[in-house]
Amino acid sequence: MTGGRKGVIGFLSSLFKTNMKNASRAGLKVIPASEHGLPSNLVPDHVLKVLNGLARHGHDAWLVGGCLRDFLLGITPKDFDVATSAHPEVVRSLFRNSRIIGRRFKLIHVLFGREIVEVATFRANQDSAGTNGNSGRSRRHARSGRILRDNVYGTIEEDALRRDFTVNALYYTATDGSLRDFCGGVQDLHNGVIRLIGDPGSRYREDPVRMLRALRFAARLDFSIEEHTAAAIHKQAALLRDIPPARLFDESLKLFLSGKGCRTIEMMREYGLLSFLFPATESVLARDSQGLQFLEKALQDTDARAAEGKPVSPAFLVAVLLWPPMRQAERKLQEQDIDSPEAYQQAAAQLFAQQCRYTAIPRRFSMAAREVWFLQKRLESDRSRQVETLLQNSCFRAAYDFLLLREAAGEKVGGAVRRWTGVLRRMQTEAEPARPGAQLADAESRPRRSRPRRRYRNRRPGGAGTS
């Protein structure tokens, strides 16, 4: 489902005026199928199987969250999430093609080939956790207030209040096609606002990653962040130090590969969050206009690729984000009379060792990013005998595109771009015109050539020629 932004906003405006003019923000709003404008076939068949399977066994089952938000904005959803009254173990028993995942939040993944439907049990909000039948046995908090484990189950009303943003607290039932809006989410969609449910300070303490999610949704949807939701980010940004580095790396990919990387990094710097994910990068960007220009051009190209539905490599993104501090670290080592190749190696090793304390970059990505960097010197050197060797390097194309970005940002690379562009044209190895930022294909995704196994004959005792 696609649609123009003006048409969607007009639809939301009329929907809001018609059905919610006199409704309070906190009250439940039930929007019948005849009025909300969602297509009757919006739910894919494999998702319907999950909804109907739960309903047949007497459980409430609702389509929930981001897929409804995107549908109402004219965006085709990528994922479909289901909320249900059934506990995880019950859902697992109903669907043989499912598995329980997560410890902090128990979820069910129901598998249909490559498609996954995520099913979550209604959860109680924090205030009611002590009064429901589950008490507090399955909820654990850190001293800072961060939720470490949350498997306290509740009702659909409690589940809605437990969600992060109003635009995600929307529920759709396939039974009668109606839409439930518990927290004024449709109104905020109409106004283009990202708003936390509940007290922002408390909600950020429960899960500091919500600050990153607020920025990601605002950048991706071109929304503003509600005043109190935004103010609390400035005050509580330091809470991100409590988040495991591996989780912050996953969130970084979501932030910068969403198709709105340029806007995202602007907002990250505006709200002071980049220094908690990529501190070395933020430190350099504050005083290096060329590094900022390089980063902006690279993210512009990444956004363009995402808009065209082309894959974007995490390894290339890592190489881009850490290049400004890499260059600075290399220059400092060269000032200590360390020769260029050694300075390159030391700078890269020190930078990744430091960075992994904040965002744990998997080795396969860090090694590929370093290879892209190391190839820069070889591409800049004018040695024709290296041509064939470099063209066969699995990271050559990514390194060449990285070189194009550097020149476009004003770095001096000699005649390397002109020389290698000429080589590629002569070799006719690319079907499309080269442009900055073609992404690095993960080496692991390429099938390895298996060496044929040698067959050995059974040798008789005594060696050949004996009888």
Q: Are residues 9 and 148 in the same domain?
A: yes
Instruction: Calculate the CA dihedral of residues 181, 182, 183, 189 and round it to 10 degrees.
Output: -10
* Residue 178 forms part of a structural domain: yes
Residue 369 tokens read as 């990013």
Q: Are residues 183 and 284 in the same domain?
A: no
* Residue 262 forms part of a structural domain: no
pLDDT band for 465, please (50, 70, 90 cuts): very low
Cβ density class 354-364: b for 16+ within 10 Å, e for less: ebbebbbbeee
Please give the average per-residue pLDDT across 208-220, as a whole number. 97
Domain interval for residue 297: 278-440
Q: Are residues 161 and 286 in the same domain?
A: no
* Residue 50 forms part of a structural domain: yes
DSSP 69-81: HHHHTT---S--E
* Residue 425 forms part of a structural domain: yes
**Number of domain units in the chain:** 2
Residue 407 tokens read as 């020149």
pLDDT at residue 190 tops 60: yes
* Residue 111 forms part of a structural domain: yes
Helix (H) or strand (E) holding 211: helix 209-221
pLDDT at residue 435 tops 50: yes
CATH of the domain at 33: 3.30.460.10
Identify whether the C-beta of residue 442 lies closer than 8 Å to the C-beta of residue 315.
yes
Among residues 79, 127, 199, 222, the one annotated as catalytic is 79
* Residue 326 forms part of a structural domain: yes
* Residue 367 forms part of a structural domain: yes
pLDDT for res 443: 44
CATH of the domain at 407: 1.10.3090.10
Closest CA to 382 of 405, 408, 415: 415
Among residues 70, 150, 164, 181, the one annotated as catalytic is 164
pLDDT band for 454, please (50, 70, 90 cuts): low
Q: Are residues 283 and 170 in the same domain?
A: no
Rounded to whole angstroms, the Cα distance separating 261 from 303 reads 6
* Residue 11 forms part of a structural domain: yes
- The answer to whether 442 is a known catalytic residue is no
Q: Are residues 179 and 282 in the same domain?
A: no
pLDDT for res 267: 97
The percent helix, strand, coil of the chain (3-state, each to 5) is: 50, 10, 35
Written as one letter, the residue type at 402 is F
- pLDDT tens per residue, range 78-95: 889 999 999 999 999 999
Among residues 70, 81, 207, 301, the one annotated as catalytic is 81
pLDDT for res 453: 54
- The answer to whether 164 is a known catalytic residue is yes
Q: Are residues 14 and 147 in the same domain?
A: yes
Q: Angle 261-270/245-256 helices, nearest 10 degrees?
A: 130
Q: Are residues 310 and 180 in the same domain?
A: no
Percentage of the chain beyond pLDDT 70 is 79
pLDDT at residue 450 tops 60: no
Tell me the pLDDT of the chain averaged across its residues: 83
- pLDDT tens per residue, range 275-318: 999 999 999 998 888 899 999 999 999 999 998 988 889 999 99
pLDDT at residue 163 tops 50: yes
pLDDT band for 20, please (50, 70, 90 cuts): very low
Residue where a domain stops, chosen among 171, 191, 211: 191
Residue where a domain stops, chosen among 161, 191, 221: 191
Q: Are residues 18 and 148 in the same domain?
A: yes
- pLDDT tens per residue, range 380-418: 887 657 788 888 889 999 999 999 999 999 899 888 899
Residues 6+ apart with CB under 8 A from 382: 414, 415, 419
Q: Are residues 318 and 180 in the same domain?
A: no
Residue where a domain stops, chosen among 138, 168, 191: 191
pLDDT at residue 459 tops 80: no
Distances (CA, A) of 448 to 169, 374, 444, 451: 46, 24, 8, 9
Q: Residue 445: count other Cβ atoms within 10 Å of its Cβ.
A: 8
